[in-house]
Structure 1
Amino acid sequence: MQEYQTAPIPMEKTCKIFRRSIYTFLQNYHYFTTLPALLALPFSASILISQALIPSSSSSSSSSSSSSSLLLHTIYTRLQTLFDAAGFPPNSEFFTILNLKLSQTISSCIFTFPFTLAFLLISKAFVIQSLNNNNIQKKPFLSLSFFSNTISLYLPLLFTYLCNSILILSANATVFTLLFFAFNVFDGFGFYSPNTLLFLSAAGAVLYSIVLANSLIISNLALVLSGMDGSSSGGGGCMAILKACVLIRGRASTALSLALPVNFGFAAIEALFQYRIVRALHVNGRLGYSVVSEWVFIAYLYSILVVLDTIVSCMFFKSCKIGSWWMDQGEGVIANSCRSKFEDGHEVENCGSKSLKRLEEFA
């Protein structure tokens, strides 16, 4: 007796997930562009201000007397001392650029940290709650229960965000430890030359980019998971990160391709802010009413992109959940159904696609 074998259903394509995200955003445009976007507005404004206040080079930070410049110079000096103590080559351009970018990132995170906890997480909670359990179809956005359920998501999101920060710090520390051993081993065996330095710097840049990118997509997925599946994820935190690591297996390329357009959008808005606001401030020496209005509008665009990024992450999580459900439970059930139809002599060509459609409706 011949048996019918079913192939595993692949992960949804990036274009399909992105198209569904944009459709969901446009379908509920009035909601997403009001409450969640306005809640994210202070965070967006702080991000843009931090980009303007923090100097782009360590030399300008040392010559400036502002608090942000002093903070950047202090962090840069501490990291440079740490790199020198670890035995990293002081004349390496890679570590010079890495030190500067790390200093700028840490300074910006310190500046925006209160706004992240107070506004960004609440904005994400409203977006996640609206997409959770098909609430987007019921549209209970003005009900008291919707607001209470949304506020209840704040603590899981907060715990997960703090754990994500520790995860990213651990990823950076791991890469620096590997680079420390690599440089010192090559130096100990006498292979320390300009070509070796160039090779290790290039390998370190690639390794650091891969580790940091995977850490960021895991952190983003864990943050969404703690809200979308908050009742069964143990309140977020480390458990949400572990579940995100399981869900992301085999789907890292999809997550990276989804993150690229959104990050390009963030970079474009930050460049627009630098060109329109920071440039006008340097030329005129003051901010007029029109410039301030334009700054608020650019920050609002940034907030809308934050909301869209959260929607994309939620849709990606639902897609991962469909794939995991298929691999754990659905594959055997659907295979038995298709096999019984085959044995009865019926057509089974569209059996898998129809079952996948039911799985998508379930999620």
Structure 2
Amino acid sequence: MEFSSSVDFPGIHRDTPPTDKECHDLRLQTVASTKPSDSGIEPDNQFHSMSALEILRETVRILRYNSTAFVVIAILLICPVSAVFLSNVLVDESTVKMLTIRLVLIARSSGLPLMPMIEHSCQRFAESILSSAVCFPLFVTFSLLSKAAVVHTVDCTYAKRRFEAGLFLALVRNIWNRLVTTYVSVCLAIVGCLTTFLVLLGAVCSTFYALGFSPDLIISVAVIGGLVFSVIFANAVIICNIGIVICVLEDVAGPGALLRSCVLIRGQTQVGLLIFLGSTIGTVFVEGLFEHRVKTLSYGEGSSRIWEGPLLVVMYSFVVLTDSVMNAVFYFSCRSSSMVISDDSVLDGSIGILSFELDDSFID
């Protein structure tokens, strides 16, 4: 009897079928030989599916390893945007009041009662819209460069090398077009998500109001809709953040980067939600402190603004920096996890085919 197979396996004779242990050893050897080499990660730093706490610990380790580069990125690229965004120096207060009044009238026509919570929400939403619109040139330059620099620095960390400005500038020249394309796609996705929610919320509240339901019930429906939307919006932000990382490290841009992000984080959305929740709590906390301690004279004669303002700007920049590093680490974790799953599927299929051929040959 002759075993007619074109695959030779070390340590396995042609006249005897491979045992389960030999197949298992072969599988482990193949996995070890097919580790991705294009990720810039040394074998002792290979990723696995990481939890949010593990990603946070890895982020601290990376911040310590390339601390000089991250400090320079925070000072030159993140702090200027944070100072302008927190202070709202470019936003006209009269425009904010006008937009707030319009939003309150729209909410009132939809059946929502004029409560302090509704008015405050309309004011905060108006400030956020105008601040984002005014700061868009800073977001598409300084903020986008800072995200690319953070992702490149994380990649350098896993490649066991230091951040070099010359290499980064050369990288930016090559990927700038796809960076801008992806960022515009991200902005369109976020704006579309917000617009869809507001239209649906207004339609639902108007319908309940026309049917004669009480204002308390309408508010309850609006709150429930807001909670559902917050989860959807969080997932959209996670996809957009990973999409920015993808356009830096992979040759894909625009909607393709967002689609690649959706596929990559499949099964890891809970970790992404925890990362988003932590960063959101940090930014909202610092924004609240800046609002009450710097923009509003809450105590004394305002002398504390001299040191509290810059301190809060630095704190906000650090939160933004940490969030960017965690998103990059989350990308590497998701990509490595998807590679392992893909390798396991291919190897299981190959070993199954091999076993089938072996069985057929022995039956013959």
Q: What TM-score, normalized to structure 2?
A: 0.74
Question: Structure 1, residues 248-307: CA drift from partner, whole Å, max 9, x if none?
Answer: 33322211111222233223333443454345697436x6xx844553343233223222
- Which of the numbers 215, 218, 223 marks the counterpart of 1:197? 218
Contact 1:46-1:111 at 8 Å conserved across structures = no
Aligned mates of 2:206, 2:69 — CA distance in 1: 56
Question: Structure 1, residues 100-142: CA drift from partner, whole Å, max 9, x if none?
Answer: 3311211221332222223111111211122237665122514
Aligned mates of 2:308, 2:219 — CA distance in 1: 44
Amino acid at match of 1:30: T
Change (3 A) 1:100 1:204: farther
Task: Report what 1:112 is aligned to.
Answer: 135
Contact 1:175-1:207 at 8 Å conserved across structures = no
Aligned mates of 1:38, 1:45 — CA distance in 2: 12
Change (3 A) 1:29 1:145: closer
Is 1:237 the counterpart of 2:261? The answer is: no
- How far is the alpha carbon of 1:94 from its aligned partner? 6.4
Q: Which runs of 5+ in 2 are unaligned?
A: 1-16, 28-46, 356-364
Aligned mates of 2:293, 2:116 — CA distance in 1: 31
Task: Report what 1:332 is aligned to.
Answer: 345
Amino acid at match of 1:192: F
Contact 1:122-1:151 at 8 Å conserved across structures = no
- Which of the numbers 324, 328, 333 marks the counterpart of 1:310? 324
Change (3 A) 1:339 1:21: farther
Change (3 A) 1:148 1:171: same
Task: Report what 1:247 is aligned to.
Answer: 264
- How far is the alpha carbon of 1:167 from its aligned partner? 1.1
- Which of the numbers 127, 134, 159 marks the counterpart of 2:181? 159
Q: Any residues of structure 2 matched to 1:75-94 within 5 Å, and which?
A: 75-83=99-107, 87-91=110-114
Local SS of the residue matching 1:33: helix
Deviates further, 151-160 or 237-246: 151-160
Local SS of the residue matching 1:250: coil
Task: Report what 1:301 is aligned to.
Answer: 315
Is 1:174 the counterpart of 2:196? The answer is: yes
Local SS of the residue matching 1:137: coil
CA RMSD, 1 decimal: 3.6
- How far is the alpha carbon of 1:313 from its aligned partner? 0.3
Q: How many residue pairs were aligned?
A: 316
Task: Report what 2:125 is aligned to.
Answer: 102
Is 1:213 the counterpart of 2:234? The answer is: yes
Aligned mates of 1:74, 1:323 — CA distance in 2: 50
- How far is the alpha carbon of 1:95 from its aligned partner? 4.7
Local SS of the residue matching 2:160: helix
- How far is the alpha carbon of 1:244 from its aligned partner? 1.7
Is 1:33 the counterpart of 2:71? The answer is: yes
Change (3 A) 1:36 1:332: same
Change (3 A) 1:248 1:78: farther
Query: Which of structures 1 and 2 has the bigger CA Rg?
Result: 2
Task: Report what 2:358 is aligned to.
Answer: none
- How far is the alpha carbon of 1:79 from its aligned partner? 2.6
Deviates further, 18-27 or 106-115: 106-115
Contact 2:193-2:233 at 8 Å conserved across structures = yes
Amino acid at match of 1:241: L
Change (3 A) 1:112 1:134: same
Question: Structure 1, residues 20-52: CA drift from partner, whole Å, max 9, x if none?
Answer: 1111111111211123442211101112212xx
Amino acid at match of 2:104: Q
Change (3 A) 1:92 1:240: farther
Contact 1:125-1:154 at 8 Å conserved across structures = no
Amino acid at match of 1:106: I
Amino acid at match of 1:209: S
Aligned mates of 1:338, 1:156 — CA distance in 2: 41
Is 1:227 the counterpart of 2:227? The answer is: no
Question: Structure 1, residues 307-358: CA drift from partner, whole Å, max 9, x if none?
Answer: 221110000111111222233x211245469989x9xxxxxxxxxxxxxxxx
Amino acid at match of 2:112: P
Local SS of the residue matching 1:34: helix
Amino acid at match of 1:129: H
Q: What TM-score, normalized to structure 1?
A: 0.74
Task: Report what 1:347 is aligned to.
Answer: none
- Which of the numbers 147, 156, 171 marks the counterpart of 1:124? 147
Aligned mates of 1:94, 1:171 — CA distance in 2: 23
Contact 1:129-1:150 at 8 Å conserved across structures = no
